[in-house]
Structure 1
Amino acid sequence: MTAADHHRATVAINPNASFGRNRDVGPRVVEAIQRAGHTVAMLREANYELLRREVEHAVTAGTDALVVVGGDGMVSLGTNLVAGTDIPLGIVAAGTGNDMARGLGLPIGDTDAATRAVVDALTREPRVIDAARVKHGELTTWYAAVLSAGFDAVVNERANLMTRPRGASRYIIALLRELVTLSAVQYRMVIDGVPREVEGMLVSVANNTSLGGGMTVAPGALLDDGLLDVFIVHRISRIEFLRVFPRVFRGTHTTHPAVEFVRARSVEIDADDSIVAYADGERVGPLPIRVDVVPGALKVLV
C-alpha cells in the first residue's frame, strides 16, 4: 500500500464493547479513517459468531485492510480470517489483555493513540510476521500470540468465565483458585519430529512474548523468526509453582531449573488428562493438537 492509494477498510468492533467503558471507541476509529480519506465499512453484531460471519463475508468480498477494535479475542477473530492472505490486520487495543498489541509495540491504554497508529499505518507497507496454524481433529485454527495447553489453559478457561475484576488481576485470581487442584500432567509431544514424554505443569507454544495481560511467558520469542518457542514447566510442587509464577510477569523465570524452552517449527501435543487448548485467549479444543509455524503468514498495520 502507498500513500497515494484510497483504501477500503473494514472495522470490526468487539460485540461486548457496547457494555464497557470503551463502547465509543469503534465509531471514533471509523470516523478517523474516514477523515483520512478512506472508505470504511463498520461491522458490529450481537455476538462473536455473528460478527465473525459478517467479517468473513467482507474479507471474501474484498477489503484492503481489516481493523479490529477490542482485545486479543478480536485479534484472534481477525487472524483466523486474514492469515495467509494479503489483507493486513490493524489492531486498536481496547480489551483486557491486549497482548498482541503489546508484542507489536502498539499503543496500550490509549485508544486515541492506537487509532492514530492504525490510520498512519494505512499509508505504509504492512509489517509481515509469522502465524501459527493449529490442526485439531478436522479443524484448523490460526493464532498470532500464544497457545496454552496445560495449567495456563485451565486458568484461561476460568478467567474467561469471570466478569470481575477487569484486567490482568482476573488471571491471578483464576490462577489462585485453580492452584487448589494443581497437579502434573503426563504429556506426549513430538517436537520437530522428535518424540518426547514430559511430566509437566504446563506447556505453551509461543509466537509472541506474553499472554494474560502481560505475563511474559516467552521473553525470547520473536514474531518474525520462523520459529515457535515451546515453554515447558516440568513437575514441581504447588509451593514451588507459586514461587516461580510471579517471575513470569517479569520474564525472569527462564533460569528456573524446572523451566525449559525449545525453539521449533512444529509441535504435536497430547496428554493422558483431559486438557483443552487455548490460543490467543480463545478456546481451541481438546488435545491432541499439532501446531506449525507459517513464516510470513500475517500482515499487520504498525
Structure 2
Amino acid sequence: MENVFIVNKASRTGKAEGVWNKIEEYLKSEGVDYEVHFTAKAYDATEFAKNATSSGEDVHLFVMGGDGTLNEALNGIVDFEHTLYTPLPSGSANDFVKGIGLEGSTLDILKRALKDDGFKSIDIGKVTYNKDGEEQSRLFGVSSGIGVDAYVCLQALTSKLKTFLNKFGLGSATYGLLTVGDIFTMPFSDAVVTTYFDGKKEERNIKSTIFAAAMNCPAEGGGIPMAPKATVDSGYLTAFIAHDISRIKCFGLLPFLVAGKHEGKNGFDLLKFNKLEISMDDQMCVHADGEHVGFYKKITFECLPSKLKIRGF
C-alpha cells in the first residue's frame, strides 16, 4: 500500500514544522517508503488528495494539519473504498481527531497506523447549496453550520487574536471570544427547517435563527460541545439550532453550552437527522469544518454513513 503524506507545516502559526521533523525522522529510521506533499496555499491539500486517490489502487493517506487542512483533503478523496485516511493533528483546535476518538500525540497516531492494518469506518457529513445557479456541495468531518457559528469561523481564519493566542497554546479560545461579540452584532433570520430521520419528515418554522450547526462530532470551535451525545458511527447527524430567544438570553446560556448542559434549554434545540433542509428569509454565513463556504439562503445537510476509513486507533 502506498503511503502518501499531505503536510501543512504552517498550521498552528508554524509550530507544526517541528512536529513534521519528528515524524520524518521516525519514517526514515523505520525505513518506511512514502511520498510527501507540502501545502503552500488554499486547496493544495484537496488537489494532492485527488491525485493520490484517483488511481483505483489502495492508498494510505496521512494528512497533517489543523481541521481546515483535514477538511480540504477530505474533499479531495476520489475513491473512498480504496483510501485509508489517517489524520495527524497539528492545529490549534483539532476537533476532528478528538471527536473520532484518536488519542495520543501525532507521532503516537502515526506509529499505530503504520503497525496495524485495521481501520474504523466513520460517518461524514455533506452540505449542499446553490452557487451561481449550480448545485454544489462540501464534505465535513466535524460539523457544518450557518449564522453566528459560521461567521465566527470566517473571522477566525484571519484573526490576529488567534495568531496571538496560538503563541501560548490557547488558539482554540479564539472561537469562544469571537462568539460573544457576534451574538450582539450578527443579523438573525427566520427560517423553515425540514428534518428527515428514520423515514419520518418533520417541518417547523423558527424565528430569529441565531445559528444552526449540523454535528458529526460532539464538539466544534475548539472543544465547544454543541452535541455532547453525537458519535461518528451512529449513521445520523445531530442538529443544534439556537432560535427564538433574545441576544442577551443567548449570551446568558453560553456557560451551559460550554459545559455541555444546554439540552432542554428554551431556544436551544437538538435534533437527530439523516437529512436536514434549511430555507431562510435572508442569506447567512455557512461553514464546513471551520472553512468558509459562502452566504446562502437555502442549504441541505445530510449524513453519509460509514463513508470514511480511519486508521491509527
Task: Please say whether Structure 1 and Structure 2 have the same fold, judged by a TM-score greater than 0.5.
Answer: yes
Structure 2 residue runs of 5 or longer lacking an equivalent are none
| Residue matched to 2:157 | 160
| Residue matched to 1:210 | 219
Conservation of the 8 A alpha-carbon contact between 1:103 and 1:209 = yes
Structure 1 residue corresponding to 2:303, chosen from 261, 269, 293: 293
SS in 2 for 1:225: coil
Asked if 1:249 corresponds to 2:253, the answer is no
SS in 2 for 1:53: helix
Distance 1:36 1:197, change over 3 A: farther
Conservation of the 8 A alpha-carbon contact between 1:230 and 1:261 = yes
Q: How far apart are the structure 2 equivalents of 1:9 and 1:142?
A: 23
Conservation of the 8 A alpha-carbon contact between 2:147 and 2:188 = no
Structure 2 residue corresponding to 1:47, chosen from 41, 60, 80: 41
Which residue identity lines up with residue 95 of structure 2 in the other structure? D
Asked if 1:64 corresponds to 2:59, the answer is yes
| Residue matched to 1:131 | 124
SS in 2 for 1:30: helix
Conservation of the 8 A alpha-carbon contact between 1:34 and 1:40 = no
Q: How far apart are the structure 2 equivalents of 1:68 and 1:163?
A: 25
SS in 2 for 1:171: helix
Structure 2 residue corresponding to 1:263, chosen from 253, 272, 281: 272
Q: Which runs of 4+ in 1 moved over 6 A?
A: none
Conservation of the 8 A alpha-carbon contact between 2:9 and 2:17 = no
Q: Following TM superposition, by how much is the alpha carbon of 1:63 offset from its aligned partner in structure 2, in angstroms? A: 5.3
| Residue matched to 1:96 | 92
Q: How far apart are the structure 2 equivalents of 1:139 and 1:72?
A: 21
Q: How far apart are the structure 1 equivalents of 2:76 and 2:42?
A: 13
Distance 1:15 1:269, change over 3 A: farther
Q: How far apart are the structure 1 equivalents of 2:12 and 2:211?
A: 35
SS in 1 for 2:82: coil
Question: C-alpha deviations, 1:10-53, integer Å up to 9, x for none?
Answer: 11111524952221222432342444443211110321323422
Conservation of the 8 A alpha-carbon contact between 2:52 and 2:59 = no
Moved more, 236-245 or 259-268: 236-245
Q: Following TM superposition, by how much is the alpha carbon of 1:195 offset from its aligned partner in structure 2, in angstroms? A: 2.8
Structure 2 residue corresponding to 1:119, chosen from 111, 114, 137: 111
Higher helix share: 1
Which residue identity lines up with residue 99 of structure 1 in the other structure? D
Q: How far apart are the structure 1 equivalents of 2:148 and 2:44?
A: 31
SS in 2 for 1:121: helix
| Two-structure CA RMSD over aligned residues (Å) | 2.0
| Residue matched to 2:175 | 171
Conservation of the 8 A alpha-carbon contact between 2:11 and 2:66 = no
Moved more, 124-133 or 188-197: 188-197
Distance 1:129 1:236, change over 3 A: same
SS in 2 for 1:77: helix
| Residue matched to 1:29 | 23
Q: How far apart are the structure 2 equivalents of 1:237 and 1:279?
A: 26
Higher strand share: 2
Conservation of the 8 A alpha-carbon contact between 2:63 and 2:70 = yes
Report the identity percentage.
Answer: 24
Which residue identity lines up with residue 185 of structure 1 in the other structure? S
Distance 1:51 1:117, change over 3 A: closer
SS in 2 for 1:178: helix
Moved more, 197-206 or 30-39: 30-39
Conservation of the 8 A alpha-carbon contact between 2:12 and 2:90 = no
SS in 2 for 1:16: coil
Q: How far apart are the structure 2 equivalents of 1:114 and 1:51?
A: 18
Conservation of the 8 A alpha-carbon contact between 1:71 and 1:98 = yes
Q: Following TM superposition, by how much is the alpha carbon of 1:85 offset from its aligned partner in structure 2, in angstroms? A: 3.1
Q: How far apart are the structure 1 equivalents of 2:127 and 2:83?
A: 20
Asked if 1:150 corresponds to 2:147, the answer is yes
| Residue matched to 2:190 | 186
Structure 1 residue corresponding to 2:206, chosen from 198, 210, 214: 198
Moved more, 27-36 or 88-97: 27-36
Moved more, 163-172 or 125-134: 163-172
Distance 1:15 1:268, change over 3 A: farther
Residue-pair matches, total: 292
Moved more, 174-183 or 29-38: 29-38
Distance 1:156 1:19, change over 3 A: closer
Q: How far apart are the structure 2 equivalents of 1:181 and 1:47?
A: 31
